[in-house]
A and B are shown apart, each in its own frame.
Chain A
């Protein structure tokens, strides 16, 4: 089929757009934005057509590969999992690019902006359709580089430059773990396969997955504990995902990533970058399923992150920071969704990806709405806003739609509800099932508490921004059509996408591993991992079904009373005098603990000490060499008399000596 052969164009087109816009953007109208928009639109159309083809015929997975060095390969793999991600990423990225034409209209560095976002999208698309772990890693690093460039887009600002550096260094910690995982995996595979196999690509996903049983059988002795190699590899992979997807404790870069343009935040938080970590775990899910204890770690880290970030979200005053913590929290949900695969098996990928896609729609929408407010009003401190709904009705309505989706408002048991409702509730219910099944109730507790806080912080944001009276003088106006049209499109998706695709989506994603990787037996993998899967779907109690929506409504109520009716005076409660508020507002002193104490104090201190040591050692060697050289020069410089005849005499003497020597040697030998 001709369409399949176009698959490689999906990342190549935006990459070409990067080159064109970067070099020739200055001469084009509006900074050459049209090139990335057209190329990403083309990518979107190809992805959509392939996805539709897959929907009709799930067996027809696009899978092409060419050799690249001895055991590596470059390839394209579009199964349902990748197809859904590709379509979502290119679609959201397209809308954000269109929106950016209006948002970045007054920025002089537009060509650089559009070139970099285009490369960002290209890297993410390449990551998604990689059919081997090395290609995925290369794109992964490219995504990290682009995020660095874009967070530091306004690099004249010291805070932006610092935020970019922080993002780069923090994700680097995860990247190193990911790379270590790849190295361990490669050495293990080389050992198991007995060298590089003829005609096969060792690091292709289906090849890796076929070695899962042997990998699980390999055991390493780690601190006196017997650990399966597969557990080590998957946990290292998860370490990479923790860095990229902003999970605890490597989430610290995400709130600071707000320093870039708001459109970049939308791109990072919704379409590209942070979803890469979730995608990595989903892509290698069979390995996680066969690795003992790995999924439990994923579930606990995810659940804890969901709650931890949500608690900070409720006290932030910066509109973008609230959304940043919301992203971390929702990513925690996605990780939790994957982690509960310990109980529900492959379904977990479907649930998690469903939330990922829905989240991409409403989080992109939230950021673009916030951008619209900031663009018009000129501040992102919510204490200075208020009553914005009067001047920006379209933004207010679309943002409320996104808030409803984020809070997960809907009616259980029916197909009425916002996108977030279907996916988030599915995750919470799976967490309940996981708790009931394995006795790990903590993730479920985290997820319910986080659901309450989610509702509180997002409606706090809505009420503080859009209702009441203006708390400062601002001259606002509704944004231009290039900004409001993407908002409206995203709002429609945020509201109805989940309800429309609810059943089909999960079934479609379950095809991912059953069709392409035929040599996988799901039950056998779970046995390897020591997980007991729930065999029959027992219906949860009605109370459990209604609990998430109940806590969401309670959260809405709390926000309504506190921030709309202002029935309770928050003066003392929300001040530095309240120790809990102070703890939250200072973000659990993470800056003090992670950055100042750990990074600067311990790590930098130790490194500086050794650097000093090495400096002294090497300096003394280098200096002694230079002393000898200088002294020799001083002694020998007297030979240079400057008189031509002396030189001539020395030359003649030398030549004569040489002739005599040659004569002697030839006669003696």
Chain B
């Protein structure tokens, strides 16, 4: 059996990749992909802990989390579609209207 720390390490790695992607990339599509990555690293944690403690709670939460991620992605893509219609591109640096 693979030890728990391996799962946690993988999860941390995935999370860091996602975080890096969010902070580095300018494209909205990539942003959403990176968010998915971070969410799934959390899901991995949940499932790993669930398997480790021999309960089903974590797996149920993971299912919820996946449904949530789907909803979030749908809304995110819808927003970016609308932005694309206005700007012909999705550059996050240029979307800075929400400030003073």
User: A: which residues have CB within 8 A of B?
Assistant: 637-638, 640-645, 648-649, 652
A637: chain B residues at CB < 8 Å are 100
Q: Which of B53-100 contact A (CB under 8 A)?
A: 92-93, 95-100
Q: Which of B1-36 contact A (CB under 8 A)?
A: 19, 22-24, 31
- From B23, B24, B98, B100, A638 is in contact (CB under 8 Å) with B100
B99: chain A residues at CB < 8 Å are 640-642
- From A638, A640, A645, A652, B92 is in contact (CB under 8 Å) with A645
A644 with B92: CB separation less than 8 A? yes
Distance to closest chain A CB from B56 (angstroms) = 30
Residues of B in contact, count (CB < 8 Å)? 13
A sample of 16 cross-chain residue pairs with beta-carbon separation below 8 angstroms, ordered by A number, consists of: A640-B100, A641-B99, A642-B97, A643-B92, A644-B31, A644-B95, A645-B22, A645-B23, A645-B24, A645-B93, A648-B19, A648-B22, A648-B23, A649-B23, A652-B19, A652-B23
B96: chain A residues at CB < 8 Å are 641-643
A642 with B19: CB separation less than 8 A? no
Distance to closest chain B CB from A629 (angstroms) = 16
| Extra contacts besides A637-B100, A642-B97 (18): CB < 8 Å | A640-B99, A640-B100, A641-B96, A642-B96, A642-B98, A642-B99, A643-B92, A643-B96, A644-B31, A644-B92, A645-B22, A645-B23, A645-B24, A645-B92, A648-B19, A648-B22, A648-B23, A652-B23
Q: Give the distance in Å from the alpha carbon of A266 to the alpha carbon of B96 in the complex.
A: 75
Q: Give the distance in Å from the alpha carbon of A426 to the alpha carbon of B26 in the complex.
A: 104
B92: chain A residues at CB < 8 Å are 643-645
Distance to closest chain A CB from B24 (angstroms) = 8
- From A638, A643, A648, A652, B93 is in contact (CB under 8 Å) with A643
Which residue on chain B has the smallest CB distance to residue A649?
B23
Q: Which of B31, B93, B95, B99 has the most CB of A within 10 A?
A: B99
Which residue on chain A has the smallest CB distance to residue B98?
A642
Which residue on chain A has the smallest CB distance to residue B99?
A642
Q: Per-residue CB proximity of B38-63 to A under 8 Å, as 1/0?
A: 00000000000000000000000000
A645: chain B residues at CB < 8 Å are 22-24, 92-93
A643: chain B residues at CB < 8 Å are 92-93, 95-96
Q: Give the distance in Å from the alpha carbon of A304 to the alpha carbon of B24 in the complex.
A: 96
A649: chain B residues at CB < 8 Å are 23
Distance to closest chain A CB from B98 (angstroms) = 5
Q: Which of B22, B31, B92 has the most CB of A within 10 A?
A: B22
B31: chain A residues at CB < 8 Å are 644
Distance to closest chain B CB from A649 (angstroms) = 6
Q: Give the distance in Å from the alpha carbon of A644 to the alpha carbon of B99 in the complex.
A: 11
Q: Give the distance in Å from the alpha carbon of A645 to the alpha carbon of B20 in the complex.
A: 10
Q: Give the distance in Å from the alpha carbon of A641 to the alpha carbon of B22 in the complex.
A: 16
Distance to closest chain B CB from A630 (angstroms) = 13
Distance to closest chain B CB from A390 (angstroms) = 86
Q: Give the distance in Å from the alpha carbon of A642 to the alpha carbon of B96 in the complex.
A: 4
Q: Give the distance in Å from the alpha carbon of A645 to the alpha carbon of B22 in the complex.
A: 7
Distance to closest chain A CB from B97 (angstroms) = 6
Q: Give the distance in Å from the alpha carbon of A649 to the alpha carbon of B22 in the complex.
A: 9
Distance to closest chain A CB from B12 (angstroms) = 13
B100: chain A residues at CB < 8 Å are 637-638, 640
B22: chain A residues at CB < 8 Å are 645, 648
Distance to closest chain A CB from B69 (angstroms) = 18
A640: chain B residues at CB < 8 Å are 98-100
A642: chain B residues at CB < 8 Å are 95-99
Which residue on chain A has the smallest CB distance to residue B94?
A643
Distance to closest chain A CB from B80 (angstroms) = 12
A652: chain B residues at CB < 8 Å are 19, 23
Which residue on chain B has the smallest CB distance to residue A637?
B100
Q: Give the distance in Å from the alpha carbon of A641 to the alpha carbon of B97 in the complex.
A: 9
Q: Give the distance in Å from the alpha carbon of A643 to the alpha carbon of B24 in the complex.
A: 12
Which residue on chain A has the smallest CB distance to residue B31?
A644
Distance to closest chain B CB from A551 (angstroms) = 88
Q: Give the distance in Å from the alpha carbon of A645 to the alpha carbon of B100 in the complex.
A: 17
Which residue on chain B has the smallest CB distance to residue A636?
B100
Distance to closest chain B CB from A633 (angstroms) = 9
Q: Give the distance in Å from the alpha carbon of A287 to the alpha carbon of B23 in the complex.
A: 87
Which residue on chain A has the smallest CB distance to residue B22?
A648
Distance to closest chain A CB from B99 (angstroms) = 3
Q: Give the distance in Å from the alpha carbon of A652 to the alpha carbon of B23 in the complex.
A: 10
Distance to closest chain B CB from A624 (angstroms) = 24
B23: chain A residues at CB < 8 Å are 645, 648-649, 652
A641: chain B residues at CB < 8 Å are 96, 99
Distance to closest chain A CB from B83 (angstroms) = 12
Distance to closest chain B CB from A64 (angstroms) = 65
Distance to closest chain B CB from A326 (angstroms) = 74
Q: Give the distance in Å from the alpha carbon of A642 to the alpha carbon of B91 in the complex.
A: 13
Q: Give the distance in Å from the alpha carbon of A645 to the alpha carbon of B98 in the complex.
A: 13
A644: chain B residues at CB < 8 Å are 31, 92, 95
Distance to closest chain B CB from A176 (angstroms) = 54
Q: Give the distance in Å from the alpha carbon of A638 to the alpha carbon of B96 in the complex.
A: 13
